[in-house]
Chains A and B, each alone.
Chain A
Amino acid sequence: MSCLQTRQLVHRYRDDLVLDGIDLDVPAGSIYGFLGPNGAGKTTTLRLLLGLLACEGGEIRVFGRRLQDDRRGLLRRIGSMIESPSFYEHLTARENLLLLQRIHRCPKARIDEVLELVGLAGTGRKRAGLFSLGMKQRLGIAIALLHGPELLILDEPTNGLDPNGIVEMRALLQRLNRERGMTLLVSSHLLAEVERLVTHLGILHRGRLLFQGPIDALRARQRATRLLVLRTDDDVAAQARLAQAGHVARIEERRLVLPALDDAGVVAIVRDLVGAGIGVREVGGSRGDLESLFLDMVDPATAREAA
């Protein structure tokens, strides 16, 4: 069952088409990674989902209801942190939460609970403006969690965090998903960062959704698209020889590229080529990780260079 759905979501900035018919589908209980390079349209999408931007075309449904029909009611069930954590720097962490607690009308005990959860319980009278970057990020998360939302929308939550902070943030988000059944929509421009966190992934590039589905489906696609790369003395002769053995190879930038083989298959074709008098100078493979697949989707030229 979907927690959040968009259909043909469109947005323009002046004459530029920023989002071109986005069909997001975030399953309930999932951690959905919303991935794309900077400027792909991730933040614009998230702002539309929260009603911070007027919807120009398409439909947004959250918990099965149209956003425009009951935005206020739906916002009670959503927590968010867009672009950067937002809080009042002249107030303490507790005061920041106190003013929101009144509006959300949640029990005061929730303030201590979320401060404890994000590790800010001991900040006392220290003003939030004096917090470190990591503490500010955690306060942003505490604010988003205060009213116990069912859906948490986080825009680049690890931005500016050190490696340790990234690990901590990942553990916190996984815990929220696992222990509280919270659905998370987390945007990022780094696949490596979300790869270990998410259960589902949407890849956005230049306002279009290039992939959407479980992370396992992307991994399967990655396995299917792994390549074997050979450098030989005579690529044309080697291509013909491989064709005789039933392998379809193409010549690309003075290399032979063919679908990946298992170890025995690699040994067999190298033996065959050498036996035919064709020198094999290098045997390799495409990087074959999700990062290269992602790059291949959003920027094929760079992906080829990287491979």
Chain B
Amino acid sequence: MSAAFVDALQGEWLKQRRSLATWMVLAGACFTPAIILVVRLVRHAGLSALHAAADFWTQLWSSAWESSAIFFLPMGLVLATSLIVQIEFRNNTWKQVHTLPIGPATIYFAKLAIVLLLLVQFLLAFNLALWFTAAVPAWLVPGVAMPTAPIPWAAFLRDDLGYAVGGLPIVGLQYAIALRHRNVMVPVGIGFLLWVGTLGMLSTRWGSLSPYAATMLQYIGVASPGKLPPPVVDVHGLALGYFVLFTVAGYLLFARARSKG
């Protein structure tokens, strides 16, 4: 990693501080765990038995990922990617970025790295929020103890990695689209349509080929095996392939633009 890239990355990290994208990612990651927590605090009658169950963590993991894998993660990535790029358009700073003594590859990949860091931030916040979903009732509700079942870290990390890889094609495609459109509604609108289209296609044999399908397929494949037709190809391998394809295509379009800023 070159020193120029590290400098650019630090600059990009500073830019996204206090930006809407950061808050959206945190809100998206914590939303489902927060809802589960509120429901459990309100209906706390059977909570002590639930906390004593041997499969407490896998049950919690599964119910928290349901809406996150289907909606919050894909749409969060659509919004976060579009908003990170929008920082430059909204502030009219592309021309400043392009007159810095750094190459287009540094500019392109430093910003992409920030979006990927936000993806990691989403997963970290989600995992942490899930732990609080178990801890807060133990602190607040009398008679409810911290779950005694061990946290299956290895399985959770494997799932996290799977969801991260599944989100990569969404980031790659949204990034390439967002860089070409000043109006943030264009990448967000395209992302929403592709997400809706993917949902519609999921029950078909070809649904697994959508770049937006990987996180959904991963969840449904574990929570409801056999509910959907088997994927045509390996979902995560395809996701990585899509990511490389979209990233390279996006970079070529970005670097070869005749008018910059």
Contacts and interface: CB of A to CB of B under 8 A. Distances in A.
Interface hub of B4, B8, B96 (most chain A Cβ within 10 A): B96
A89 B98 contact: no
Interface in A72-111: 72-73, 75-76, 78, 80, 82-84, 86-91, 95, 98-100, 102-105
A50 interface: yes
B19 A90 contact: yes
A258 interface: no
A68 B102 CA distance: 14
Contact of B95 (A54, A83, A104, A105): A83
Interface string A105-145: 10000000000000000000000000000000000000100
A52 B14 contact: no
B237 interface: no
A103 B102 contact: yes
B46 to A, nearest CB: 46
Contacts of B92: 83-84, 86
A53 interface: yes
A88 B15 contact: yes
Interface string B85-119: 00100111111101111110000000000000000
Contacts of B94: 86
Contacts of B91: 86-89
Given A54-B259, A100-B11, A103-B8, A86 B101 contact: no
A131 B19 CA distance: 18
Contact of A73 (B15, B19, B100, B101): B101
B258 interface: yes
A78 B10 contact: no
A82 to B, nearest CB: 5
Nearest to A90: B18
B241 interface: no
Given A87-B91, A99-B10, A72 B99 contact: no
Nearest to A79: B99
B7 interface: yes
A99 B95 contact: no
B92 to A, nearest CB: 5
Contacts of B14: 91, 95, 98-99
Interface residues of A, number: 30
Contacts of B205: none
Interface hub of A51, A78, A82, A90 (most chain B Cβ within 10 A): A90
B260 to A, nearest CB: 5
A82 B10 CA distance: 25
Given A86-B93, A105-B7, A75 B15 contact: no
A86 B94 CA distance: 8
B8 to A, nearest CB: 6
B261 interface: yes
Nearest to A50: B99
Interface string B224-259: 000000000000000000000000000000000011
A103 B103 contact: no
Given A83-B95, A99-B10, A52 B101 contact: no
A51 B95 CA distance: 10
A147 to B, nearest CB: 8
A91 B259 contact: no
Nearest to A127: B18
A91 B90 CA distance: 13
A243 B73 CA distance: 90
Contacts of B17: 91, 95
Contacts of A47: 95, 259, 261
Contacts of A53: 258-260
B101 A72 contact: yes
Contact of A103 (B90, B93, B100, B259): B100
A217 to B, nearest CB: 31
Interface string B1-39: 000100110110011011100000000000000000000
Given A88-B91, A103-B8, A105-B7, A80 B99 contact: yes
A76 B4 CA distance: 13
Given A52-B259, A86-B94, 14 more contacts: A51-B260, A73-B101, A82-B99, A84-B92, A87-B96, A88-B15, A88-B87, A89-B91, A95-B14, A98-B14, A100-B11, A103-B100, A104-B100, A143-B96
Interface of A: 47, 50-54, 72-73, 75-76, 78, 80, 82-84, 86-91, 95, 98-100, 102-105, 143
15 contacts: A47-B259, A50-B98, A51-B98, A52-B99, A72-B102, A78-B99, A82-B99, A82-B261, A86-B96, A87-B91, A87-B93, A88-B15, A88-B93, A91-B17, A143-B96
